[in-house]
Structure 1
Amino acid sequence: MQLAPSFAVPDSRSAASASASASVARRPSATILPFRAPRAWLDIALNGKTLAQSRTHLAGLLHSALGVYVTRTAERGDSIVVRLDIAPEDFGFTLHTLLGAVPEATISALRARADGEAR
């Protein structure tokens, strides 16, 4: 088996492009702070006659378009409390989708998210 002969690859930059890039002044990099959109929590209760029925409602909610917004769930008696983390401007969409996915849900107040508790 023979190997192909090696050869030098010439520099593809021309002298004009090299001098043009050298004349461009570099700006000092600025500190960029990420913009965090305000978020809100919406707690809802999935009420069923039994815990199994509440879990069925939860499965339906998780498989809907709102499933990505679920951040916390907790069982309380025969119901399940679900916390949704949404943008305030998505409140209308959230209510519309929630009524379609789980019409038996009890909706609490919309409140600002506390960043210390976000995780």
Structure 2
Amino acid sequence: MAHAHSRSIPVDVPATLSQSARPRAKVVPLRAPRAWLDIRLDARTHDAARAHLAALYQSPLGIYVVQTALTRETLCVRFDIAPEDFAFTLHTLMNCVPEATICGLRPRQDAKDC
């Protein structure tokens, strides 16, 4: 039973824009600034270099390795990390290869080598 004072009032609703006529929103992906962490490892033999690389690749750090180079008796490894992963990377590095020497941490755009 309807209330005696209630009535239906027509409301004009503007036609919605068609899918093709709608303005497209510009989506800008937010990317966290990345950094390169370069380390050096003593590798007096190729077997030592392979053992160090195997330890790194089999650890959680393996996904961060973007470059390796063997020069004389030194293995240089570059990690591409997000700033929020820095503490985790150092902690894992100390457990995985404690003999590593950190060369530097710099923005990814910097092209210097280890």
TM-score by length of 2: 0.74
Q: CA deviation at 1:89?
A: 1.6
* Secondary structure of the structure 2 residue equivalent to 1:111: strand
1:77: which partner in 2?
72
Q: Within 5 A, what are the aligned runs for 1:39-58?
A: 39-58=34-53
Say if 1:62 and 1:68, in contact at 8 Å, map to a contact too: yes
* Structure with greater proportional helix content: 1
CA distance in 2, matches of 1:56, 1:107: 18
Judged with a 3 Å threshold, the aligned counterparts in structure 2 of structure 1 residues 77 and 115 are, in CA distance, closer, same or farther, namely closer
Consecutive unaligned residues in structure 2, runs of 5 or more: 1-14
One-letter amino acid of the structure 2 residue matched with residue 42 of structure 1: L
2:97: which partner in 1?
102
Aligned length, in residue pairs: 96
Consecutive unaligned residues in structure 1, runs of 5 or more: 1-22
> Runs (4+) of structure 1 moved beyond 3 Å?
23-27
One of 86, 94, 111 as aligned partner of 1:91? 86
Comparing 42-51 with 94-103, greater Cα deviation is found at: 42-51
Q: Does 1:63 align with 2:58?
A: yes
RMSD: 2.2
The C-alpha deviation readout for 1:71-95, integer Å capped at 9, x for no partner, is 0011111221010000112111000
CA distance in 1, matches of 2:61, 2:85: 11
2:11: which partner in 1?
none
CA distance in 2, matches of 1:83, 1:31: 34
Judged with a 3 Å threshold, the aligned counterparts in structure 2 of structure 1 residues 28 and 116 are, in CA distance, closer, same or farther, namely farther
One-letter amino acid of the structure 1 residue matched with residue 108 of structure 2: R
Say if 1:38 and 1:88, in contact at 8 Å, map to a contact too: yes
